[in-house]
Chains A and B, each alone.
Chain A
Amino acid sequence: MSSSSVAVVDYGMGNLHSVASALEKVGDGVKVIVTDCPETILGADRVIFPGVGAIRDCMAELKARGLDEVIQEVAAQKPMLGICLGMQALLESSEENDGVECLDILPGAVKFFGNDLHDSAGTRLKVPHMGWNNVAQTIEHPLWAGIANDSRFYFVHSYYVDAPEFVAGTADYGVQVHAALACENVFAVQFHPEKSGEAGLRLLRNFLNWDRPVASFFPVTG
């Protein structure tokens, strides 16, 4: 792995320091490149597509830098990990900012938790969904290797993914949150692995070791 490289897509949406330093921590010499350069991103062995903030700005920044097409190309070619807003941007559309068309790489929509969210016992739930929640692994996948089912990961988001297929993990927060999606060489998580302690670092290490996406990891759908 020492000769491999991972590009962290920098498009002005949030602080990438944590992602980069977590990758360096687990990377065993992997070259971590924080960049908005299309050629560099396309030349890397793996790509992390992070993001925090609002989806309209996210899509605008991607388009302004020509990175929307780059992400499409990466998604077709090499291991890619979407994180938080980076995950949401991969879907068809989001309800945030009065409705925004996203990259449509994965099927599904991003929905608002609402202002009247309750758990099954009727307790009011705060929005954003902020803190450590359990993630139930719904498929076997190389990125879950060595991570106990129902491990807690750190979330912070007000909009959540609702996908019809390719769900790899779920969390419960008044609604069922699709906390992880997996489709061929794309893996996407709503939580922040770079802020999720040992479980998160393990997921990042698994990503850096993930070489050959295998179609049979995924359940038959449709």
Chain B
Amino acid sequence: MALAKRIIPCLDVDKGRVVKGVNFVGIRDAGDPVEVAKRYNEQGADEITFLDITATHEGRETTVHTVEQIAAEVFIPLTVGGGIREIKDIRTMLNAGADKVGINSAAIHRPDFVKEAADRFGSQCIVIAIDAKRVANEADGRPRWEIFTHGGRKPTGINAVEWAIKMVANGAGEVLLTSMDGDGTKAGYDLALTRAISEAVPVPVIASGGVGNLDHMVAGITEGLADAVLAASIFHFGEYTVPEAKAYMAARGIEVRL
């Protein structure tokens, strides 16, 4: 009897369709986001994350409508990220039915944005989304990860662990941590990165990027010390269902909601 570790299917949505690429290249269509969200809800997903990767303004109108449709049918927490740049973007998504919003590059451009957002809407709905890559070790030999933007192509020079600490101090209530090295590769989460950040911040951490099998999800919890594990393609393309993932984790002593 304890708080369950969460399993979170992630919908990367482009112009109204769920897509998933390998390191953002070779994108495959994975269906209608409302239908996909309903399916995961019926399977017992603990939460759903919706990442809008649409670049155009017109596409973003579609996104708001899609979030509204999901929220009217799916009564579990819904996080929406992608393109959240201003307070009004947050209000739009919360009004559309999102419970939390993920803030990523807007925080890098203006770190106070997270503080303003948390002051306005409460920490419980502000997720700091961090895309990190392993870089050359620190001078003392410790591993170092930096924040990257533009789908992992553009380095910022910001230390990912220090950034997480700073954003949580600014009011973020949760960390969505994506390893850009792992994303789409199915090689597993970056466990050292996940653990470093989970130990550094008091708030929950969601491990993301690289899940290829159920052992990766188990390791994200037991070795990465994540509070939740996020996955996309292994669920979208039917390799595993959410109940299979939960049963597998439960059999390995992880508290899950069955």
User: A residues engaging B (CB < 8 A)?
Assistant: 14-15, 17-18, 21-22, 25, 52-54, 115, 119, 125-134, 136, 150, 152, 154-158, 172-173, 194-197, 200-201
Q: Give the CA-CA distance A154 to B99 in the complex, in Å.
A: 12
Contacts of B213 in A (CB 8 A): none
Secondary structure dominating the interface of A: mixed
Q: Does B143 belong to the interface (CB within 8 Å)?
A: no
B75 and A131 contacting across the interface, CB-CB below 8 Å: no
Q: Give the CA-CA distance A201 to B75 in the complex, in Å.
A: 8
Q: Give the CA-CA distance A105 to B120 in the complex, in Å.
A: 27
Contacts of B99 in A (CB 8 A): 15, 18, 195
A128 and B3 contacting across the interface, CB-CB below 8 Å: no
Contacts of A195 in B (CB 8 A): 75-77, 99
Q: Closest 8 A-B residue pairs measured CB to CB?
A: A53-B122, A15-B94, A132-B257, A132-B4, A156-B124, A133-B3, A152-B257, A134-B1
Contacts of B160 in A (CB 8 A): none
Contacts of A133 in B (CB 8 A): 2-4
- The answer to whether A197 and B75 touch (CB under 8 A), given A15-B95, A17-B96, A128-B173, is yes
Q: How many contacting A-B pairs (Cβ < 8 A)?
A: 100
The residue in chain A whose Cβ has the minimal distance to the Cβ of B228 is A131
Specify which of A129, A197, A200 is in contact with B3 (CB 8 Å cutoff). Answer: A129
Specify which of A21, A172, A194 is in contact with B2 (CB 8 Å cutoff). Answer: A172
A52 and B3 contacting across the interface, CB-CB below 8 Å: no
Q: Give the CA-CA distance A126 to B2 in the complex, in Å.
A: 13
Contacts of B96 in A (CB 8 A): 17
Contacts of A201 in B (CB 8 A): 75
The residue in chain A whose Cβ has the minimal distance to the Cβ of B225 is A124
Tell me how far the C-beta of B257 lies from the nearest C-beta in chain A, rounded to whole angstroms: 4
Sample of 23 A–B contacts (CB below 8 Å):
A14-B121, A15-B95, A17-B96, A18-B99, A52-B122, A52-B124, A53-B124, A125-B3, A128-B204, A130-B173, A130-B174, A131-B46, A132-B6, A132-B46, A132-B257, A134-B1, A155-B3, A172-B1, A195-B99, A196-B75, A196-B76, A197-B41, A201-B75
Contacts of A115 in B (CB 8 A): 202
A197 and B124 contacting across the interface, CB-CB below 8 Å: no
- The answer to whether A128 and B6 touch (CB under 8 A), given A18-B75, A195-B99, A197-B76, is no
Q: Give the CA-CA distance A135 to B30 in the complex, in Å.
A: 36
Contacts of B5 in A (CB 8 A): 131
Q: Give the CA-CA distance A52 to B124 in the complex, in Å.
A: 8
Tell me how far the C-beta of A194 lies from the nearest C-beta in chain B, rounded to whole angstroms: 6
A131 and B227 contacting across the interface, CB-CB below 8 Å: yes
Q: Give the CA-CA distance A134 to B203 in the complex, in Å.
A: 20
Q: Which residues of B36-89 have CB atoms within 8 Å of chain A's CB atoms? A: 41, 44, 46, 71-72, 75-77
Tell me how far the C-beta of B256 lies from the nearest C-beta in chain A, rounded to whole angstroms: 9
Q: Does B97 belong to the interface (CB within 8 Å)?
A: yes
Contacts of A156 in B (CB 8 A): 77, 124, 173
B76 and A128 contacting across the interface, CB-CB below 8 Å: no
B122 and A54 contacting across the interface, CB-CB below 8 Å: yes
Q: Does B123 belong to the interface (CB within 8 Å)?
A: yes
Tell me how far the C-beta of B204 lies from the nearest C-beta in chain A, rounded to whole angstroms: 5
